[in-house]
Amino acid sequence: MAAKRFEGKVAIVTGASTGIGLATTVQLVHEGAKVVLVSRSQDKLDAAVAEIKAKDGQVTTLAADVSQEATSKAMVDLAMSKYGRLDITNEMVDTVFATNFKSAVFGFKYALPAIEKSGGQGSIVVNSSVAGSVASASPLASGNNAYAASKAAVDMLVKYAAVEAALHNTRINSIAPGTVRTPIFQVFAPGIQDNDIDELAKGIQLMQRAASPEEVARFTCFLLSDDASFVTGSVHLVDGGASLVM
């Protein structure tokens, strides 16, 4: 793997203060990107920046709700005004329809013209879920029909958006993680402790454990990078084999 795949690139990561979003931001910065971090809580964003330990000028933050169209415009405007370009975005869509589907639509609407204006090939990765690809009888899936449906909608949106994005020299893909040690797992098992997630994963993933955020982030960064320059319109399962046994 090249040490600096994102040298000279500018990225936006939403949901960047915790979990997969934070791990992806760390990886992007490590490989040379300048990153706009977007999340609801400024306090969590400040903590994320401290954890990243980025050099001055490599990261900036925007505390806002990504389910609002104004946020999508504001984060693109911030990237363009501060860094003068936009190359890649990683959309973390973690709740139900208001955030999952609408934030992806708004993100595409404002990011694609900015990426095209910046020149070069752009890349957008949307974080979906294995729940959007495979129905499950697992007790963990009980009561989460709306969550699963919203992820399936996002995956289909990615495929259609990829057709239009190709006209803007931009690739769009989604990743569909299985069980990951992140706060979003509380959606499926409220009150669960981190050290219990691996135990639960044994029954629903072939790998017999949960993924770390860093494992998912590495695959995300592959799709965002030029290493995946011929990959677009695809949904990629990063689920430890969960889709084979659900």
113 and 168 Cβ atoms separated by less than 8 Å: yes
151 is catalytic: yes
> Could you tell me the pLDDT band of residue 57, with boundaries at 50, 70 and 90?
low
**How many structural domains are present in the chain?**
1
* C-alpha to C-alpha distance for 114 and 58, rounded to whole angstroms: 19
Q: At what angle do helices 42-52 and 19-30 cross, to 10 degrees?
A: 40
- Full residue range of the structural domain in which residue 215 is found: 10-244
Between CA 196 and CA 227 the distance in angstroms is 35
83 in active site: no
Q: Who wins on pLDDT, 68 or 94?
A: 68
The bridge status of strand 170-177 relative to strand 235-238 is: parallel
User: Among residues 151, 159, 160, 202, which one is catalytic?
Assistant: 151
Assess if residue 4 is contained within a domain: no
Q: With respect to residue 5, please indicate whether it lies within any of the assigned structural domains.
A: no
Residue 2 within a domain: no
- Give domain status of residue 168, yes or no: yes
Query: Rg of the chain's alpha carbons, rounded to an integer?
Result: 17
Domain membership flag for residue 1: no
Structure tokens at 138: 């697992």
Classify residue 194 by burial, with Cβ atoms within 10 Å: 0-12, 13-18, 19+: exposed
What predicted TM-score, i.e. pTM, was given to this entire model? 0.89
Determine contact, residues 25/13, Cβ cutoff 8 Å: yes
What digits encode the pLDDT tens for the residues 97-134?
A: 556 677 888 889 999 999 999 998 899 999 888 887 87
- Determine which one of 147, 159, 160, 202 is catalytic: 147
Side-chain-side CA neighbours of residue 69 (13 Å): 4
Identify the CATH number of the domain in which residue 42 sits.
3.40.50.720
What burial class does residue 209 get, using C-beta atoms within 10 Å of its C-beta: 0-12 exposed, 13-18 middle, 19+ buried?
middle
Q: Is 42 helix (H, G, I), strand (E, B) or coil?
A: helix
Per-residue model confidence as pLDDT tens digits over 7-16: 999 999 999 9
* pLDDT tens digit sequence for 136-191: 656 555 556 777 888 888 899 999 999 999 988 999 999 999 888 887 666 666 77
Report if residue 3 sits inside a domain: no
